Structure 1
Amino acid sequence: MTQRTSEQELYRFLEDRFACAQACTECARACALRVSLLDPDGSDGPERARRQGILCAEVCDTTCRMLSEQDCQDESGVRVQLEWCRAVCADSALAFGGRPGAQSTAEACRVCARACADFVALLD
């Protein structure tokens, strides 16, 4: 990380990632339950949202772990991870946006995507 990235900015970023990962995990669980209970024919909507939620939670968690490492000095690797997290969160926001009861998760994913983009800008 560059000297311009303060410890406080890093902590705030990590807190945002954990919140997004939690929201995505909860939505993935809810979608999985809907698939098994309410959608026995397995149509693509709930299943796509469930898969997207799991992917988003995993990417957010990996990003958190990468950024919390003490010896995280590979700025190009950090940038790639942040861009991947941003893209997955943006896709997740789209997947959750139309799902009943998932609006707060869609918003958490949008916030996460913006935070990733903002953090990359801090590295420039």
Structure 2
Amino acid sequence: MASTRSQQELFRFLEDRFACAQACTECARACALRASLVDPRGTEGQEVVRRKGIMCAEVCDATCRVLTEQNDMDEAGMRFQLEWCRTVCLECAWVFDEQPSAEGSAEVCRACARACTEFMATLV
């Protein structure tokens, strides 16, 4: 019975890991798209949106790679990467909240932050 439970835990871990990686990919795409829509010659506020979108896309992309590639990262390193991603996504969502027609991008960022939080909960 213990092996069945361990197997179920492993499946849950892998499912959560995949869901988090998928959310990171979606967030990276949304942030890169949002950043590309901002006029780089615009106001200082637009530059903040552009920079934050680019940074979020890069962090999400890196997190997705950590989650999907075979790597030697230990649990502490994975937690650090997930927490960094979660924090950047929430910051990006707050910046997008202030932009007209950026609600969808903000929600994708929040969904990614939730996925990171949920996946971290599986790391015991």
**TM-score normalised by the chain length of structure 1:** 0.85
What pairs up with 1:80-95 in 2 under 5 angstroms? Answer: 80-95=80-95
The aligned counterpart of 2:6 is none
Residue by residue over 1:5-58, the C-alpha shift from the partner in whole angstroms, topping out at 9 and shown as x without a partner, is 532222222111100100010011012x3x43xx3xxx3211100000000000
Q: CA deviation at 1:83?
A: 0.3
The aligned counterpart of 1:49 is 49
The secondary structure found in structure 1 opposite 2:17 is: helix
Structure 2: any 5+ residue segments left out of the alignment? Answer: 1-8
Q: Is the 8 A contact 1:24 1:105 kept in 2?
A: yes
Tell me, yes or no, if structure 1 residue 8 matches structure 2 residue 12. Answer: no
Query: Structure 2: how far apart are the matches of 1:27 and 1:76?
Result: 32
Match of 1:22, as an amino acid?
R
CA-atom RMSD in angstroms? 1.7
Residue by residue over 1:79-122, the C-alpha shift from the partner in whole angstroms, topping out at 9 and shown as x without a partner, is 00000000000000000011012110011111111111111111
The aligned counterpart of 2:115 is 115
**TM-score normalised by the chain length of structure 2:** 0.85
What pairs up with 1:24-103 in 2 under 5 angstroms? Answer: 24-31=31-38, 33=39, 35-36=40-41, 39=42, 43-103=43-103
Query: Structure 2: how far apart are the matches of 1:52 and 1:71?
Result: 27
Paired residues in the alignment total: 116
Structure with max Cα Rg:
2
Query: Structure 2: how far apart are the matches of 1:5 and 1:69?
Result: 18
Structure 1: any 5+ residue segments left out of the alignment? Answer: none
Query: Structure 1: how far apart are the matches of 2:19 and 2:116?
Result: 11
